[in-house]
C-alpha cells in the first residue's frame, strides 16, 4: 500500500525510508518479545523442577 502511494505521488524515496525504519522497529520489537517469553518459560521450568536433595 505504501509503495503504491509513493508511486502515485512521486515520493518513492520517502516511502522506502518509512518502510526501512518501520521494518527495523518490528525486528527490535520481536527480539524483545521473544527474549521476554523465553525468560518466562525458563522461570516456569525452573519453578516446576523440585530442588535436588543429596
Q: What is the pLDDT of residues 1-54, one digit of tens each?
A: 889 999 999 999 999 999 999 999 999 999 999 999 999 999 998 888 776 766
Q: Tell me how far apart the terminal alpha carbons of the chain are, to the nearest angstrom.
A: 63
What pLDDT score does 23 carry?
97
pLDDT at position 27 is 98
**Annotated domain spans of the chain:** 2-44
pLDDT at 50: 74
pLDDT of residue 46: 87
Taken in order 3, 6, 11, 17, is the CA torsion positive or negative?
A: negative
φ and ψ at residue 52, rounded to 5 degrees: -80, 130
Confirm if 16 and 6 have CB atoms less than 8 A apart: yes
Distance CA(14)–CA(23), nearest Å, equals 14
pTM of this structure: 0.70
Amino acid at each position: 500500500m505504501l509503495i503504491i502511494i509513493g508511486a502515485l505521488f512521486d515520493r518513492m524515496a520517502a516511502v522506502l525510508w518509512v518502510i526501512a525504519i518501520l521494518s527495523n522497529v518490528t525486528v527490535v520489537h520481536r527480539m524483545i518479545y521473544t527474549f521476554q517469553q523465553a525468560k518466562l518459560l525458563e522461570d516456569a521450568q525452573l519453578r516446576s523442577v523440585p530442588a535436588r536433595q543429596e
